[in-house]
Amino acid sequence: MAINYENTVIGLELGSTRIKAVLLDRQFKVIAQGYHDWENRLVNGIWTYGTEEIDTGLRACYKSLKEDAFKKFGEPIKKVAAIGISGMMHGYLPFDKDGKQLADFRTWRNTITEQAAAELTELFGFNIPQRWSIAHLYQAILNKESHVKDIDYLTTLAGAIHMKLTGERSMGIGEASGMFPIDSNVYDYNEAFVQKFDALTAKEGFPWKLRDILPVVKCAGENAGQLTPEGAAFLDPEGDLEPGIPLCPCEGDAGTGMAATNSVRVYTGNVSAGTSDFAMIVTDHELGVHREIDMVTTPSGAPVAMVHCNNCTTDINAWVALFGEFAEYIGKPMDKGELFTLLFKKALEGAPDAGGLLNYNYYSGEGVTDLNEGRPVFLRTPEAAFTLADLMRSHMMSALATLKIGLDILIGEEKVRVDKLYGHGGFFKTPGVGQRFMSAAAQAPVTCMETAGEGGPYGMALLAAYLVWKQEGETLEDFLDVRVFNDAPASTLMADGSDISGFNAYVAQYKKSLIVEEKAIETL
């Protein structure tokens, strides 16, 4: 099949457990894909990925995409219309003036900035979560870490890759909003907060001020540089990829999730559920300060209320792996995907409140419940019916429990309006299952599109497409509504009353028994 790659765009996202890439055509269809599996490591108390892991993983993913495209079209990728880079939002990646990385990459998963986050929240009157880049920076200052004085550039994973490919120190406004608070009226960092931070740290005598080291903020549709010869050689060492390709502003996984689910217009929201889970709702008004809720932005700069939870499917994956090991042991090995589907569907047969079974899926700390570390804990009462259905139902609800705690504040207390809620990520891959539990948690209908399982790179590719294929004056909201998702296949599901009341009962017991998780952290 003949192809003109200059009528395609590439979206590439470095997720928590997989680096993914997609090639999109002018009809916004995925025509080739690439993957590379990886996993974070706990090193000296820090959740991280090594620099070499990042570089080799990114190249391996691109090579996988390139091979898939060559297999389908018979020629190598040389020049595409645009490229977009995305990564796990937040975290800490400092560089000196020579481009040397000054500290191990501290990912979103770390909960080691409690003092800094609390002090900055008080200073700004604005919630600063522990995973935000500014919290990591200030904690490093409080810890008297020697590298801080040498920082010339502070960025995120997506920002670091974007810089490597283009030489530009910029990022999309959605990604930037997870580094430092944004003023959506001017589409830039909140200047009053910048000045407060500079005043707070002035006594340290650093040779930099905050704006000196933060990336330049860009909105969706703005040009964010071109692929340099060095960037092309880095991404494709085989030498086929040509320099000069424009790049759109890089974004975090939150922004790509919004784009992939058409959730950038006011009163729409989306839930991304994989290794972590988060809900994002585009709102029209200021919210009070809640430590469970972040204020970030869409890729075009509109304010977004975000509930982010560090733990979602990791514990489910471990239990499914255990069942897979048992299947192999008895000589009945199962395909991993089939096993997930089987067990997820079994959860629908469980008691609405999981019948007295309770699970805490904390592999790492959890900001929503004020825990800086995690220990997976499974509990049951002596009289509980210890069935497979109830076990899996407990795990499914546990994956969303902290998210529900935040949503109850957002929708119940702050009266945030939600007209549409979309689900995407691995939790939603089995049709009708994760969707039903999410609907019970939010007490609202949840819609899933065909792109639900691999939303991130697809959303990033759409942002790249918007850069080069938007019409004069066309907003991102209209581009997605009218040209991309106008007739996209989707399914909408609303949980029934027993699902909702059962989830409410489960979370009530979950909150009441949280001391067990606290004691597990103290003693294990």
Determine contact, residues 480/451, Cβ cutoff 8 Å: no
Q: How confident is the model at residue 396 (pLDDT cuts 50, 70, 90)?
A: very high
Q: Among residues 161, 162, 174, which one has the least CA distance to residue 256?
A: 174
Residue 453 has pLDDT above 80, yes or no: no
Cβ neighbour number for residue 252 with a 10 Å cutoff: 31
**pLDDT for res 503:** 98
Pairing of strands 216-218, 170-172: parallel
- Angstrom CA distances, 107 to 48, 88, 176, 190, 336, stand at 6, 8, 15, 24, 28
- Tokens matching residue 57: 């993983």
Q: What's the confidence (pLDDT) of residue 463?
A: 98
Angstrom CA distances, 248 to 219, 221, 462, 464, stand at 9, 7, 10, 5
Residue 480 has pLDDT above 60, yes or no: yes
The one-letter amino acid code at 493 reads L
Secondary structure class of 439 (helix, strand, coil): helix
CB 234 within 8 A of CB 164: yes
Average pLDDT, the chain: 94
Choose among 307, 338, 309: nearest CA to 323: 338
Q: How confident is the model at residue 451, as a pLDDT? A: 54
- Give the CA count within 13 Å in the CB-facing half-sphere of 159: 30
| Confidence at residue 1, expressed as pLDDT on a 0 to 100 scale | 67
Tell me the pairing of strands 268-273 and 251-252. Answer: unpaired
| H or E element in which residue 84 lies | strand 82-87
CB 253 within 8 A of CB 89: yes
Q: Average pLDDT for residues 296-309, to the nearest whole number? A: 93
Asked if 48 contacts 41 with a C-beta cutoff of 8 angstroms, the reply is yes
Identify the sign of the CA torsion 49, 54, 56, 59. Answer: positive
Alpha carbons 309 and 30: distance in angstroms, whole number: 29
Task: Give the model's pLDDT for residue 489.
Answer: 85
Residues 121, 59: contact at Cβ < 8 Å? no
Coil/strand/helix, residue 369: helix
Question: Do 61 and 53 form a contact (C-beta atoms < 8 A)?
Answer: no
Q: Where are the beta strands (DSSP E) in 96-149?
A: none
pLDDT-derived band at 424, boundaries 50, 70, 90: confident
pLDDT in tens, 96-129: 999 999 999 999 888 899 999 999 999 999 999 9
Are 150 and 96 spatial neighbours (Cβ–Cβ below 8 Å)? yes
pLDDT number for residue 254: 87
Half-sphere exposure of 254 (CA within 13 A, CB side): 34
Identify the CA nearest to 137 among candidates 119, 116, 158: 116
Cα separation of 185 and 151, whole Å?
A: 29
Per cent of the chain over pLDDT 90 is 85
- The token pair at 291 is 């430590």
Name the burial class of residue 477, with classes exposed (0-12), middle (13-18) and buried (19+) by CB atoms within 10 angstroms of its CB.
middle
Give the CA radius of gyration of the chain.
22
The whole-model pTM stands at 0.83
CA dist 409 and 401 (Å) reads 13
pLDDT at 34 over 90: yes
- Give dist(CA 451, CA 461) in Å, integer: 12
Mean pLDDT of 509-521: 97
Q: How far is CA 18 from the centre of its chain?
A: 12
Answer yes or no: CATH 3.30.420.40 is held by domain 262-354+377-450+494-513. yes
Neighbours of 98 (CB within 10 A): 7
Look at residues 115, 86, 91 and name the one whose alpha carbon lies nearest to residue 40: 91
